[in-house]
Amino acid sequence: MSIPLLTCVVLVYLSIVAYLTVKAYRDTNSASDYMLAGREIHPFVMAISYGATFVSTSAIIGFGGAAAVFGMSVLWLTFLTILVGVFIAFVFFGRRTRVMGLNLGAHTFPEFLGRRFDSRGLQGLTATLIFIAMPLYASVVLMGGGKFIAQILAIDYSVALFFLTIIIAIYVIMGGLKAVMYTDAFQGSIMFSGLVILLAVTYYKLGGITQAHQRLSDMSEIAVKIFGAKGHTGWTTFPQLGSEYWLVVVTTIILGVGIGVLAQPQLIVRFMTVKSDRELNRAVLIGGIFILVVVGVPFIVGPLANVFFYYENSATAGKIALLAADKNVAQIIPMYISAAMPQWFTALFMITLLSAAMSTLSSQFHAMGTSLGRDIYEKALGRSGNSVLLTRVGILFAIMISYFLAWGLPHFFEGGTAIIARGTAIFFGICAAAFLPIYFGGIYFKGMTRFAAYAGFFSGTLMSLFWLFFIHIKESKPLLICKALFGVDSLAAGTKWALVDPLVIALPTAIVVTLIANFFGRPPSEQHIQKCFEAVR
């Protein structure tokens, strides 16, 4: 790639990020500005920020690569992300969260739950779980971004990781949520443009939409020959019902992420950043189109890369994408970009991926920082102080932990990379099981008791952890605890249970426990309920 071209593009990109950071810094005068962007965010910024936070570099490269293996059945995740992650989230969760958040004066998601159930303990527990689980998720994104920069600029991974972390740290600490959301909107726009071009060029190269799909469909025999034993039936058909691939596609990719999106603290807080329901209504339109492109395109281009590598690229002729990339799923999309796309696009796509990493990371750092500074230190522990300063310190602390995980785990621990690689799935699964039943109950059921909230939280968390540490082999194996205690990689090794995502078990468990526990405990006072639900429709 042309280094002068790349340098120019990166400099322009960083200058715009710097400008937006300074603007956000000047506009930030209070704790509500720093944590909630003053509740005055434009719907375009809110919708794009929401989507850009959800979609990271790992999602584009990792899920794009996974789609190249599993095929277009993963498009169902795009459907769920638009329907559940945008439409249901904004219309049925967002409106209530916004109004109730204002009624309760909540600044963060843990504070929202804590005040709804009138419990600082719950606020502290929620924040603690976020603060413990999110660094792993952040380190996935950091590692992905760092590796990508190191590869493109041909520099050392540690150097790339260090500078990526420093740049994000500066703008998140300086400008708070305003800086995060302004830069997210800019970065999201780049992602959108880059992916639209990627899709258009891919279809053009492969002979048009129907022709490209047909060529991929015609490769089904090759897919069955290579992956048939695991249930693969072709790249444009669903894996065999109940097979190993079917379980991975349906429980981990489609349900794990598609449902998990509803309970992400860094996304939920965005509902409280807009002025009124009108902004949320507008954001539904913008978010729907944005997610269609940024989630959908990698799931189409990934499988189509098989056609390109097999038929169009002389260097890899006769090889499917996975084999062309030396069986490295994470290399499929970058390889496809450098082999199939024009040079100017490689520079644009580099910025697209950098944007995806930075937009997700900045939101993660902000969410972890507010959890530590605001929710744990200031509220749960009852220490008073300058909220903005405490949150800034919290963010700095969170950034350092994530950085050392991304840098240190692969260095000092053999299975470190494998653990980090599962970070997204672990975080999504834990959040969905621990938070979704109490979040949904909190905004819809007036009579839900504090006891039920605690029961839902603990049952979801504990069942997730049990399944992660002892059953789901993709996590239990690298985590090594099951091996140390019982001498096996998974207590369900050799059965299909070992392939079932924790969310599929832990979420229903948490829902049932929450419902049963609601028969116990003292109902909330009428006055408190009135305050929570005032103007909630």
Binding interface with other proteins (CB under 8 A): 30-32, 39, 71-73, 75-76, 78-79, 82-83, 86-87, 91, 95, 99, 102-103, 105, 209-217, 220, 233-234, 236-238, 275-278, 280-289, 291-292, 296, 384-387, 534-535
Mapping DSSP to helix (H, G, I), strand (E, B) and coil, where does residue 414 land? coil
Instruction: Tell me which DSSP letter residue 518 carries.
Output: T
Cβ-based burial of 277 (10 A; exposed 0-12, middle 13-18, buried ≥19)? middle
Mapping DSSP to helix (H, G, I), strand (E, B) and coil, where does residue 385 land? coil
- Of the two residues 62 and 101, which places its CB atom closer to other proteins in the complex? 101
| Least distance from other proteins to the Cβ atom of residue 59, Å | 16
| Least distance from other proteins to the Cβ atom of residue 135, Å | 29
| Least distance from other proteins to the Cβ atom of residue 364, Å | 25
Q: Concatenated DSSP letters for 259-305? A: HHGGG-HHHHGGGGGBSSHHHHHHHHHHHHHHHHHHHHHHHHHHHHH
| Least distance from other proteins to the Cβ atom of residue 384, Å | 7
Bridge partners (DSSP) of residue 159 are: none
- Of the two residues 234 and 265, which places its CB atom closer to other proteins in the complex? 234
The one-letter amino acid at 329: V
Distance in angstroms (rounded) separating the CA atoms of residues 104 and 524: 15
| Least distance from other proteins to the Cβ atom of residue 328, Å | 25
| Least distance from other proteins to the Cβ atom of residue 291, Å | 8
Tokens representing 338 are 């450098």
Quote the Cα angle for 94-99-102, to 5°.
Answer: 120
Distance in angstroms (rounded) separating the CA atoms of residues 23 and 53: 20
- Of the two residues 301 and 351, which places its CB atom closer to other proteins in the complex? 301
Distance in angstroms (rounded) separating the CA atoms of residues 14 and 166: 13
CB 194 within 8 A of CB 333: no
With helix as H, strand as E and coil as C, how does 251-266 read? HHHHHHHHHHHHHCHH
Whole-number Cα distances in Å, 208 to 204, 205, 299, 349 = 5, 7, 17, 22
- Of the two residues 292 and 418, which places its CB atom closer to other proteins in the complex? 292
- Of the two residues 52 and 280, which places its CB atom closer to other proteins in the complex? 280
- Of the two residues 278 and 496, which places its CB atom closer to other proteins in the complex? 278
- Of the two residues 189 and 214, which places its CB atom closer to other proteins in the complex? 214
Distance in angstroms (rounded) separating the CA atoms of residues 263 and 15: 34
- Of the two residues 9 and 83, which places its CB atom closer to other proteins in the complex? 83
| Least distance from other proteins to the Cβ atom of residue 115, Å | 13
| Least distance from other proteins to the Cβ atom of residue 83, Å | 4
Whole-number Cα distances in Å, 285 to 43, 75, 182, 194 = 10, 20, 19, 20
- Of the two residues 20 and 249, which places its CB atom closer to other proteins in the complex? 249
| Least distance from other proteins to the Cβ atom of residue 173, Å | 19
